[in-house]
Amino acid sequence: VALFFALSGFLLWRPYAAAAWSPDAAHVPRPGVVRYFRHRFVRIWPAYALVVVVVLLLLPEARGASATVWLANLSLTQVFVPLTLAPGLTQMWSLSVEVAFYALLPLFGLALFRVRGVAADRRIPILFGLAVLSLGWTWVTRLLPLPDGVEARNWIPGYLSWFIAGLLLTEVVVALAVGRRRPTSRLVQLSANRPLMLAVFVVAYGLACTPIAGPVGLGDMTHATYLVKMLLGAVAAYAVLAPLVLSDGPFAFLDSRVMNALGRWSYGVFIWHLAVLAIVFGLFGIPMFAGHFVTVWLLTVVLTIAVSAASYAFVEEPLRTALARWEKRTRAPRR
């Protein structure tokens, strides 16, 4: 999830960073908000809504869901509505947080948009400071009068450090591209060092798997362990992404046809895999947490990839193509 959030931050922050670091920043228009929301909606919601409908109608464990569960899942507000994470859809809490990030990103970009030109140098420390401040969100949640079943730690402020790991990398990459940061910068050199970043990732991930980042399983976390979990997640996500976007050499494996195909299908893999897992357990009579790891893993991977490829071919790509055609028609000059 940390990598998912950081990657989203890196990709979606580029227009705002490019506008701020441009040599002619005073005359660069702000990124188009309406177009941004239109693309986010078409990219995310139709395929997601299909999964929700299929799961709530057909998955035995999820059938008979209340109107509240239907509405919360279709509107991607599960993290704000108590007890609405339905079987086969429980992973969608992270997409709920992601959509909150999508909604706030233009406001976030607007707030920093005036810090541009020479003053753009301030953006990186400002973002880093916000990431540090967000680590204290766990203590703020104690002050919120919330109904039972709502975990405010799962709101966007709690995960801001993971998103900002990606935003910081975007700022550095854009600054390098326009010559406002020296490629020889020590921090950039260290971040681009693949063996070093691999070691940082292994250490951060390893520590995150110990009790200092929370109990094994789904038990409650203390404020301290939650802070450690957020910090280690941000470090691990940064360590994975930094050499990908800062180093010069190619990553042949990631550029292979297989990985490119999996990349295209990756959203489908995310939204379908838990429903497929539940079906695998039911069809093959395998109880959860009863072993059979290899069998369950192989069946789930194969079936999920097949369903995800179909989702991409019949839902995601046709809708994106239709949107692109519509935008092209609306931009075309009228005669």
pLDDT tens readout for residues 186-237: 888 899 999 999 999 999 999 999 999 988 777 788 999 999 999 999 999 9
pTM exceeds 0.75, yes or no: yes
Share above pLDDT 90 across residues of the chain, in percent, rounded to a whole number: 66
Answer with the residue of higher pLDDT: 334 or 118: 334
Q: Which of 136, 120, 239 is nearest to 180 (CA)?
A: 120
Cβ distance 230 to 135 under 8 Å? yes
Q: Alpha-carbon distance 103 to 156, whole Å?
A: 11
Give the pLDDT of residue 178.
78
> Residue 115 pLDDT > 60, yes or no?
no
Angle, CA of 202, 206 and 212, to the nearest 5°: 145
Q: Which of 185, 156, 162, 168 is nearest to 112 (CA)?
A: 168
Q: How many whole angstroms separate alpha carbon 233 and alpha carbon 245?
A: 18
Residue 118 confidence (pLDDT) above 50:
no
Cα 305 to Cα 43, 46, 295, distances in angstroms? 18, 18, 16
Query: pLDDT by residue (tens digit) across 293-312?
Result: 999 999 999 999 999 999 99
Mean pLDDT, range 41-70, rounded to an integer? 95
Average pLDDT, the chain: 89
CA angle 186–189–192, rounded 5-degree value? 150
Q: Beta-carbon neighbour count of residue 250 at 10 Å? A: 8
Task: Please name which of 205, 298, 300 lies closest in space to residue 2, comparing C-alpha atoms.
Answer: 205
R_g (Cα) of the chain, nearest Å: 21
pLDDT at 119 over 60: no
CB 24, CB 120: distance < 8 Å: no
Identify which has the larger pLDDT, 120 or 329: 329
State the DSSP code for 313: I
Do 30 and 125 meet the contact criterion of CB atoms below 8 Å apart? no
